[in-house]
Amino acid sequence: MRFEIPLVELLVRTWRLRAPELPAGPVVWCCWHGDLPAAFRLLRDVRPMALVSASRDGMRWSPLFERAGWKVANGSCGGRAAAARHLLRHLRAGGSAGMALDGPRGPARVERPGTRWLAEKSGRPAVLLEFKYSRALTLRTWDSMRIPLPLSEIECSWSYL
């Protein structure tokens, strides 16, 4: 994906985002897996440590996050437990974390326990980000990932878990 990163960065810059003020301080950010591109756009300046799965698709996200200045907790470096401990240390040190609420394999839009566990253990709030798109391409993937088209408007809302 390395050759695609500049194209993705250019596309992301065209999206027009409307969002209420986000909670300040260390937070466990989460969204549905299918909304990862919009969450990346919303949080690009917040730069939480992202939990990235060890899957081939997950590994395609790592260079994009790293190039944007985010830290990555990779599920392949010692497994999921090691990545979770890495995120927990980061949260306890005052950083924020970001992850998909429905995990790396789903089922789509069904909450997995990792986000709440991380929030409880770290003492940080978990915030669910949700998105509505003016125009988006829905991929035929397990998570029905939505890729906003160029110049799309994205409306964000959030709530505490």
In a domain, 122, yes or no: yes
| pLDDT at position 108 | 95
Tell me what pLDDT residue 79 has. 59
Spatial neighbors of 6 by CB under 8 A, at least 6 apart, are none
Q: Give me the amino acid identity at 16.
A: R
Does residue 150 sit within a domain?
yes
Strand bridging mode 126-133 / 97-100: unpaired
What does the pLDDT look like over 6-17, one tens digit per residue? 888 899 999 999
Is residue 95 a contact partner of residue 48, using CB atoms and an 8 Å limit?
yes
Q: Could you tell me the pTM of the whole model? A: 0.91
pLDDT in tens, 19-75: 999 999 899 999 999 999 999 999 988 999 999 887 777 777 788 888 888 898 886
Residue 117 lies in a domain: yes
Instruction: Please give the mean pLDDT across all residues of the chain.
Output: 90
Structural domains in the chain (count): 1
Q: Residue 3: exposed, middle, or buried by beta-carbon count in 10 A (0-12, 13-18, 19+)? A: exposed
CA dist 10 and 6 (Å) reads 6
Which domain CATH number covers 117?
Answer: 3.40.1010.10
Residue 19 falls inside a structural domain: no
Contact 143, 108 (CB under 8 A): yes
Q: Which pLDDT value is given to residue 112?
A: 93
* 73 within a domain of the structure (yes/no): yes
Q: Which residue has the tokens 């969002």?
A: 19
Tokens linked to 20? 């209420």
The answer to the question of residue 151 being in a domain is yes
* Residue 97: pLDDT over 70: yes
C-alpha R_g of the chain: 15
- Contact between 31 and 39 under an 8 Å Cβ cutoff? The reply is yes
Counting Cβ atoms within 10 Å, is residue 54 exposed (0-12), middle (13-18) or buried (19+)?
A: middle
Q: Which residues make beta-bridge pairs with 157? A: 130
Q: Do 47 and 22 form a contact (C-beta atoms < 8 A)?
A: no
For residue 8, being part of any structural domain is answered with yes
In a domain, 134, yes or no: yes
Whole domain around residue 116: which residue ranges? 2-14+24-160
